[in-house]
Structure 1
Amino acid sequence: MTTLVIEHESLAREITFTKGAMTVLLDDGRQVSVPLVWYPRLLHGSPAERQNYEFIGDGEGIHWPDLDEDISVEGILAGIASQESEMSLDAWLGKRNKRRQAPLSHMARGKAR
Structure 2
Amino acid sequence: MASDYDVIIIGAGAAGLMCAATAGYRGRKVLVVDHANKAGKKILMSGGGRCNFTNLNSTPANFLSDNPHYCISALKRYTPQDFLELVERHGVEHEEKAAGQLFCRDSA
**TM over 0.5, shorter chain:** no
Which fold has the larger relative contact order, with Cα–Cα distance below 8 Å and residues 6 or more apart in sequence? 2
Larger Rg: 1
Q: Which of the pair is proportionally richer in strand?
A: 1
TM-score (normalizing by structure 1): 0.24
Normalising to structure 2: TM-score of the pair?
A: 0.25
